[in-house]
Amino acid sequence: MRFSNLKELALLCADEGKPIYLIMLEDQALESGRTAEQEWDKMKQYYGIMKEAVTKGISSEKLSRSGLTGGDAKRVHEYTRQQEASLEPFTGLAMAYALAVSEVNASMGRIVATPTAGSCGIIPGVFVSSQERFGWTDDHMVNGLFCAGAIGYIIANNSFISGAEGGCQAEIGSAIGMAAGALVELKGGTPEQAVHAVGLAMKNTLGLICDPVGGLVEIPCIVRNGFGAVNALAAADMALAGVSSVIPSDEVIQVMLEVGSAMPDIHRETARGGLAQTPTGRQIIKQLAKDRKKFRSELKKR
Ligand code: SF4
């Protein structure tokens, strides 16, 4: 890649008069040795998988394998369409779609890790709801995924994208930054505005710990995806309105690295702290262990 941080990416866009997605598409093709068309087709398939996961998750009441989660996306989808909902309908839709894809992940369905399975709902939530709202084509959305990919590439190479390394800020925070920056470009914003959106978004999740109950990517992961989609919409709007990230976005990414490195192990996907070790969290783990034991002894009897 010809860029290693967001500043270089924005400068490259300015020098070549191209949007972020096109720089990413060209560079990715060069790096992989495949043609731009092949790269683009692969990304189009990924977008298809995201849309399928939204459709599946929004209509399903199926519980996850653990039985802990499932059906919330459908509930939220129905509720946000009512007059009483606090969020306007399309924001509610983004939230519901993000929950839907995360629930599909929890029930072992097919998703695209964006950037990880734990944060797989945010980009589809933002993208699919925005496509419905603005009437964009699939091709436009695929371009947006390349923009999100460029942002994710930079975050991964300068900080973390996994909860085990940097806490939930690295998964959910990165996904929000990717979705926010991409949405700015999808809406016709400049690369510079997209870069500001990344910093605005990621500042808001700094310090977020990774504390999945029972080590399962369900609680609190699924709801964090729902909130993440809403945050991404807000960050994109702020950037498009002209709000800039006073602390440059590359520096925000560095802060995420600093905070994640200082995070104790109990808050980095080990399920030994945070929500995972609350009285209720521990109770759930005990119950899951009992259920597994019962299941194993029933299997033996067969
Ligand atoms: S809590 Fe941990 S496992 Fe769950 S989404 Fe956040 S980083 Fe991923």
DSSP assignment string, 225-278: HHHHHHHHHHHHHHHHTT---SS-HHHHHHHHHHHHHHS-GGGBTSSSSGGGGS
C-beta of residue 171 within 8 angstroms of C-beta of residue 115: yes
- So what's the pLDDT on residue 84? 83
State the distance from the centre of ligand 1 to the C-alpha of 167, rounded, in angstroms.
Answer: 7
- Judged by average pLDDT, the poorest of 75-84, 97-106, 223-232 is 75-84
Query: How large is the angle between the packed helices 138-158 and 191-203, nearest 10 degrees?
Result: 60
DSSP state at residue 64:
P
Tell me the C-alpha distance between 123 and 144, whole Å: 10
Strand residue runs (E) in the chain: none
| For ligand 1, atom 1: residue with the closest CA | 210
| Residue 301 belongs to some domain of the structure | no
Nearest atom of ligand 1 to the alpha carbon of 168: 7
**In the chain, what percentage of residues exceed pLDDT 90?**
92
Tell me the C-alpha distance between 13 and 192, whole Å: 9
C-beta of residue 159 within 8 angstroms of C-beta of residue 166: yes
| For ligand 1, atom 8: residue with the closest CA | 118
**How many CA atoms within 13 Å lie on the side-chain side of 177?**
35
Q: Does 221 sit in the ligand 1 pocket, CB within 6 Å?
A: yes
Name, in order, each residue with C-beta under 8 angstroms of 230's C-beta and a sequence gap of 6 or more.
Answer: 87, 91, 94, 95
Nearest atom of ligand 1 to the alpha carbon of 119: 5
- So what's the pLDDT on residue 157? 98
Asked whether the predicted pLDDT for residue 202 surpasses 90, the reply is: yes
| For ligand 1, atom 2: residue with the closest CA | 210
State the distance from the centre of ligand 1 to the C-alpha of 38, rounded, in angstroms.
Answer: 32
| Residue 217 belongs to some domain of the structure | yes
| Residue 160 belongs to some domain of the structure | yes
State mean pLDDT over 284-296: 83
Domain count, the chain: 1
Q: How confident is the model at residue 301 (pLDDT cuts 50, 70, 90)?
A: confident
Backbone angles phi, psi at 273, to 5 degrees: -155, -175
- So what's the pLDDT on residue 82? 80
Q: How confident is the model at residue 297 (pLDDT cuts 50, 70, 90)?
A: confident
State the distance from the centre of ligand 1 to the C-alpha of 118, rounded, in angstroms.
Answer: 5
Asked whether the predicted pLDDT for residue 251 surpasses 90, the reply is: yes
Backbone angles phi, psi at 229, to 5 degrees: -65, -40
Q: How confident is the model at residue 298 (pLDDT cuts 50, 70, 90)?
A: confident
Q: Alpha carbon 252 to chain centroid distance?
A: 18
Pseudo-torsion of CA 193, 195, 201, 205, nearest 10°?
-160
State mean pLDDT over 55-60: 95
State mean pLDDT over 114-127: 98
State the distance from the centre of ligand 1 to the C-alpha of 56, rounded, in angstroms.
Answer: 22
| Residue 76: strand, helix, or coil | helix
- So what's the pLDDT on residue 224? 98
State mean pLDDT over 246-259: 98
| For ligand 1, atom 4: residue with the closest CA | 221
| Residue 246 belongs to some domain of the structure | yes
Q: Does 94 sit in the ligand 1 pocket, CB within 6 Å?
A: no
State the distance from the centre of ligand 1 to the C-alpha of 137, rounded, in angstroms.
Answer: 31
Q: How confident is the model at residue 167 (pLDDT cuts 50, 70, 90)?
A: very high
As a whole number, the mean pLDDT across the chain is: 96
Angle, CA 55 vertex, CA 57 and CA 162 arms, to 5°: 55
N residues, the chain: 302
User: At 32, which CATH number?
Assistant: 1.10.4100
State the distance from the centre of ligand 1 to the C-alpha of 112, rounded, in angstroms.
Answer: 16
| Residue 288 belongs to some domain of the structure | no
**How many CA atoms within 13 Å lie on the side-chain side of 49?**
18
One-letter amino acid at 87 equals L
- Judged by average pLDDT, the poorest of 63-72, 199-208, 231-240 is 63-72
Asked whether the predicted pLDDT for residue 142 surpasses 80, the reply is: yes
- So what's the pLDDT on residue 302? 73
For residue 145, give the nearest of 253, 70, 40 by alpha carbon. Answer: 40
One-letter amino acid at 249 equals S
Question: Domain residues for 254?
Answer: 6-277
Asked whether the predicted pLDDT for residue 81 surpasses 90, the reply is: no
- So what's the pLDDT on residue 293? 77
- So what's the pLDDT on residue 83? 72
DSSP assignment string, 87-143: S-HHHHHHHHHHHHHHHHHHTT-----SS-STTTTHHHHHHHHHHHHHT--HHHHHH
Q: How confident is the model at residue 52 (pLDDT cuts 50, 70, 90)?
A: very high
Q: Does 176 sit in the ligand 1 pocket, CB within 6 Å?
A: no
- So what's the pLDDT on residue 241? 98
C-beta of residue 126 within 8 angstroms of C-beta of residue 233: yes
Could you count the other beta carbons within 10 Å of the beta carbon of residue 4? 13
Asked whether the predicted pLDDT for residue 41 surpasses 80, the reply is: yes
- Judged by average pLDDT, the poorest of 31-35, 123-127, 134-138, 287-291 is 287-291
| Residue 210: strand, helix, or coil | strand
State mean pLDDT over 132-158: 98
